[in-house]
Amino acid sequence: MSTLNFKEIHNKVDANLKECKTLIVNADRKTLIGDAVKYHECIVSKVGNLATWTAPDSTGRSPKDTLFVKRPQSQIHIDWNSPNNLPATESLFEEIFQDAMEKMRKYERIYINDRVIGADSEYALPVKLITPQALTSVFGDNMFRPVPKDLNNSCFAEKPFYLISLPFDKLDEKKYEWKLRKLPNGKTTDKIVLMDFDNRIGIIIGSAYLGSVKKTMFTVMNYYLPFQDVLPLHCSANEGKDGKTALILGLSGTGKTTLSADPRRALLGDDEHGWSNKRVANFENGCYAKMININPAKEPDIFEAVMHKDDYLNHGVIVENAMIYPNGEFDFDDERLTPNSRASYPLTFLNNIKESSVGGHPSTILFLTADATGVLPPISRLDRNQAMLWFLMGYTSKLAGTETGVVEPQTTFSRFFGAPFMPLLPKVYTKMLGDKMEEYDTSVYLINTGWSGGKYGVGQRIDITATRAMVEAALNGDLRNVEYEYDSLFHLNIPKTCPDVDSSILFPENTWTNKEEYRKTAKALAKEFSDHFDKTYGKNDIAPEIIRNCPGK
């Protein structure tokens, strides 16, 4: 298996599958849903969707158990300085691979689903999802796209990816002692999410969180696509009635879902897209939305997509790790199981979508941040180098209550607004963004949905009405020709006016009563930027013109 011949690896998997008891290949949706219920992998809720739960250690991703096989061909492209990119040896892969083959043979049924990742057939990646769980196959049917008739046009047509998901199997602790990480209790982990980019295979053992399936394939696309001159982005995308596409990037809590769900704009997708030399295209067939504290009034489309009533065989929405009562009703405000309850549903369950999930080159890109220090302007325009810097930093504030132990807002940096899923060297993604925004005359704006008039606990959250007005002005081009003022500390271009927005809030210092406290807080945040940049990118080949735009430099 060390020959790096992915076809041989795939042949070994295919041969192993022939030894399994029953293969259910490309079953229709109703069959998969029916089997998931029949074999007690889920229960049917009052409205007909499928409720399921995982063990407490599988209610989210397991980043410390997510590894990339380190091989000569691919290792030179991966940023091993990133704490998110953990290496696995070739020999470890061989052991895990053999374990997976043996575990598959013990099951009564193995489901095989052929799908693709990517709405653009020129780079749609064929994926063969292999799993003993019918519910995992339903998830694949929700999230991955049907194989298009013109798949032969894809650069990956002859290079499929195999994904084996064994969510309820466990690794032998004794066998992998000293080979995998130690848990706080001294035991060896019994789960792994393993990606082999060269052999074009992923293996999930012990992680029942359905997001592991989705995020594995997102990571895989983020590795392969730049070699095809396609920029992968962790973003939502929508299209106006004028046909212009917008991309919205932002970490959890910044308002990405709320701002992308605009009734005047058709949704291409809510999470993962590729930007090629021809167009923007969604990777997925569905959505994987957070359900904790969902408000039907604020997010009616998502709520209706998840909670519409139908016969369960026609439904297929999976609600994962949400509280449900004996009467079959959910309580989405109860987070005793986990604050990460999720729902998986097809895009077609939403009302205002663009069915092709493909749009033109983006005229506008929005970077969202929820700045809890209250010192960033509510909107600023970024030139090429500024955009590359803020893309590289991926800044927001993590608020109290979002994670166990977080009692005060914390500065958070997640490069490219999706650090765990971007395995290549950072200069690859940053340069591609700069080149594309320049070639296609794309405007980039930083939108602060956080605080004004003081830091968190003193100031107020920027009014959503004002934020929507600023977003609208950015999208329709009203901010292209207004006068700007340069902020030399954060290296931002701040508009002096914005339609339907009180100009006094555009410059954050104006909103603070204590000006000295504002300047002190602003300098402290800028220093955090500078320190993080030096610590994280000091050994990377980042262009000087980008470095100069880092706050505090």
Q: Are 129 and 112 within 8 A, CB to CB?
A: yes
Chain-centroid distance, C-alpha 518: 34
Closest alpha carbon to 236 in 221, 210, 220, 254: 254
Give the residue carrying structure tokens 């995308």: 237
Closest alpha carbon to 228 in 153, 146, 145: 153
- State the pTM of this model: 0.95
Q: How far apart are CA 284 and CA 211, in angstroms?
A: 13
Region 55-61: mean pLDDT is 91
Helices (H), 252-400: 256-260, 300-307, 312-315, 384-393
Q: Are 173 and 190 within 8 A, CB to CB?
A: yes
- Which residues, other chains included, contact 414 with Cβ-Cβ below 8 Å and sequence gap of 6+? 251, 394, 396, 420
In tens, the pLDDT along 81-118 reads 999 999 999 999 999 999 999 999 999 999 999 999 99
Q: How far apart are CA 347 and CA 355, in angstroms?
A: 8
Region 539-547: mean pLDDT is 84
Q: Would you list the domain boundaries of the chain?
A: 6-31+56-227, 236-270+361-547
Region 125-152: mean pLDDT is 97
The H-or-E segment that residue 525 falls in is helix 515-537
| Coil, helix or strand at residue 180 | coil
Q: What is the CATH number of domain 236-270+361-547?
A: 3.90.228.20
Task: Give the CA radius of gyration of the chain.
Answer: 23
Q: What values do phi and psi take at 189, rounded to 5?
A: -55, 145
Q: Are 262 and 476 within 8 A, CB to CB?
A: no
In 204-240, which positions are buried (b, 16+ CB within 10 angstroms) versus exposed (e)? Answer: bbbbbbbbbbbbbbbbbbbbbbbeeebbbbbbbbbbb
Q: Given pLDDT bands bounded at 50, 70 and 90, which one contains residue 402?
A: very low
pLDDT at 320 over 90: yes
Q: How far apart are CA 73 and CA 321, in angstroms?
A: 39
Assigned token pair, 209:
């969180």
pLDDT at 401 over 50: no
Region 531-545: mean pLDDT is 86
In tens, the pLDDT along 70-91 reads 999 999 999 999 999 999 999 9
Q: Given pLDDT bands bounded at 50, 70 and 90, which one contains residue 404?
A: very low
The H-or-E segment that residue 221 falls in is helix 211-224
Q: How far apart are CA 416 and CA 390, in angstroms?
A: 8
In tens, the pLDDT along 348-378 reads 999 999 999 999 999 999 999 999 999 999 9
Q: Given pLDDT bands bounded at 50, 70 and 90, which one contains residue 128?
A: very high
Region 324-342: mean pLDDT is 94
pLDDT of residue 255: 86
Sheet containing 66-69, strands listed edge to edge, beginning at the edge strand earlier in sequence = 23-25, 110-117, 125-131, 161-166, 201-205, 192-196, 66-69, 86-88
pLDDT at 64 over 50: yes
- Which is higher by pLDDT, 404 or 48? 48
Q: How far apart are CA 526 and CA 370, in angstroms?
A: 15
Q: Which CATH architecture has domain 6-31+56-227?
A: 3-Layer(aba) Sandwich (3.40)
In tens, the pLDDT along 201-236 reads 999 999 999 999 999 999 999 999 999 999 999 999
Distances in Å between the Cα of 39 and the Cα atoms of 32, 35, 405 are 11, 6, 38
In tens, the pLDDT along 256-314 reads 888 888 889 999 999 999 999 999 999 999 999 999 999 998 889 999 999 999 999 99
The residues annotated as belonging to the active site are: 61, 215, 234, 252, 256-257, 271, 342
CB atoms within 10 A of CB 167: 23
In tens, the pLDDT along 4-53 reads 589 999 999 999 999 999 999 999 999 999 999 999 999 999 999 999 99
